[in-house]
C-alpha cells in the first residue's frame, strides 16, 4: 500500500524526504507483477507527502487541498532492488508550489513540480460510484488488455468512442470510495487518463497489446478547484505516430461539456524482446557499480 517512511531528521519546514514503500498486495499499484516501481506509486507518494507537509506547517490542516498542476519527467525506471526517495521542497516560503525529485542510488529517476490549492473538498467529483446491486449489470468498461490491467475491477474508463480522425473519447469510472481509500484522488485521475492514452495508442496506432510502455512524462493542469458534479469525460487527441517507438498524447478533461483540465502524456512503446534485453543490460550495469 501507499504508506511512507519519513526520516524526521530530513524533514524541515520547507522540505521533506520520503521513502517510497511498496506492497505487492495493493491492487491499485500492483494489478500484476512488475519488475520496477510503478509510476503511479511515485506520483501518489509525492502527492500524499506534499499534502502532509502542508498540514504539518499549518497551511493545510483546516482545509482540503486539491492538485492544480503536476509536471513530472521520468528519467529512468525506478528499480525495486534499492530504496527510492521522494525529495520535496517549497519553491517559495509559505507557498504550496513544490519541486519534486525522486532519487535512487544517487541518481534522479523522476523530477518536476506540483502545485496544491485550497478546495471545498478533497474528492474530485461528488458522484460516488456504488457497487452494482446483485443481479444488475456492471457499467461497460474498456477491455483490460487495452489499458494494461489484468483485473477488470482495476479498469477506470469505459469503452473508447472514436469522434474524429485522431480523436477518441471515454468516461472515467471512479472506484467505490472504500476500494482504495489510501490512494490520492488525483492519482486515480492520472491513472484513468493514463489508461485512456494507452487504450487510444493501441487503437489509433495499432501497437500490439503485449508491448511494454515506459512512461516518460506527464503534465496535468486543472483549471479550478471546484468539486465536479459528475465523473469527467476524457477526450483524447493523438498525432500521427513518428515511428512505433515513441509518441505524445493529449487528453482534455471535460465535465458536462466544459473543459476543466488537460494532461499531456509521453511514453515509449517497446516490444517484449527488446524490453527484456534492455532490462538485462540495466541489471548488468547495476551489478558492476
Q: Which DSSP string corresponds to 166-178?
A: TEEEEEB-PPPTT
Q: For 137-147, what is each residue's pLDDT tens digit?
A: 567 999 999 99
pLDDT at 64: 84
Cβ neighbours around 223 below 10 Å, total: 12
Question: CA angle, corner 171, sides to 169 and 175, nearest 5?
Answer: 150
Position 241 scores a pLDDT of 60
What whole-number distance in Å separates Cα of residue 275 and Cα of residue 120? 44
Q: Which fold has domain 4-131+140-287?
A: Thiol Ester Dehydrase; Chain A (3.10.129)
Burial 108-122 (b: 16+ CB within 10 A, else e): ebbbbbbbbbebeee
In order along its 289 residues, the chain shows pLDDT tens digits of 444 444 443 566 688 999 999 999 999 999 998 999 999 999 999 999 998 887 776 555 567 888 999 999 999 899 998 999 999 998 776 668 999 999 999 999 999 999 998 888 888 887 554 444 454 456 799 999 999 999 998 999 999 999 988 899 999 997 776 788 899 999 999 999 999 999 998 998 888 999 999 999 999 999 987 889 999 999 998 876 655 556 689 999 999 999 999 999 998 889 999 999 998 887 766 655 5
Confidence at residue 41, expressed as pLDDT on a 0 to 100 scale: 96
Q: What residue ranges do the domains of the chain occupy?
A: 4-131+140-287
pLDDT for 126 = 78
Amino acid at each position: 500500500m501507499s504508506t511512507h517512511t519519513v526520516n524526521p531528521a530530513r524533514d524541515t519546514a520547507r522540505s521533506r524526504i520520503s521513502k517510497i514503500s511498496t506492497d505487492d498486495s495493493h491492487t491499485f499499484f500492483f494489478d500484476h507483477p512488475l519488475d520496477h516501481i510503478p509510476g503511479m506509486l511515485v506520483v501518489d507518494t509525492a502527492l500524499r507527502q506534499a499534502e502532509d507537509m502542508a498540514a504539518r506547517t499549518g497551511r493545510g490542516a483546516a482545509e482540503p487541498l486539491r492538485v492544480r498542476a503536476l509536471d513530472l519527467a521520468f528519467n529512468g525506471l525506478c528499480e525495486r532492488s534499492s530504496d527510492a526517495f521522494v525529495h520535496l521542497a517549497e519553491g517559495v516560503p509559505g507557498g504550496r508550489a513544490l519541486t519534486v525529485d525522486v532519487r535512487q542510488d544517487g541518481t534522479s529517476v523522476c523530477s518536476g513540480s506540483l502545485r496544491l490549492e485550497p478546495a471545498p473538498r478533497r474528492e474530485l467529483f461528488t458522484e460516488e460510484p456504488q457497487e452494482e446491486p446483485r443481479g444488475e449489470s456492471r457499467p461497460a468498461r474498456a477491455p483490460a488488455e487495452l489499458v494494461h490491467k489484468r483485473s477488470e475491477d482495476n479498469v477506470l474508463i469505459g469503452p473508447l468512442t472514436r469522434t474524429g480522425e485522431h480523436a477518441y473519447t471515454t468516461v472515467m469510472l471512479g472506484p467505490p470510495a472504500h476500494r482504495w481509500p489510501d490512494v490520492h484522488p488525483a492519482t486515480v485521475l492520472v491513472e484513468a487518463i493514463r489508461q485512456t492514452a494507452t487504450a487510444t495508442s493501441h487503437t489509433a496506432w495499432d501497437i500490439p497489446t503485449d508491448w511494454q510502455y515506459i512512461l516518460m512524462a506527464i503534465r496535468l493542469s486543472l483549471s479550478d478547484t471546484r468539486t465536479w458534479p459528475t465523473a469527467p469525460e476524457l477526450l483524447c487527441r493523438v498525432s500521427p505516430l513518428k515511428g512505433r517507438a515513441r509518441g505524445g498524447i493529449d487528453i482534455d478533461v471535460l465535465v458536462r461539456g466544459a473543459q476543466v483540465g488537460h494532461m499531456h502524456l509521453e511514453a515509449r512503446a517497446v516490444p517484449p524482446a527488446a524490453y527484456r534485453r534492455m532490462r538485462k543490460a540495466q541489471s548488468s550495469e547495476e551489478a558492476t557499480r
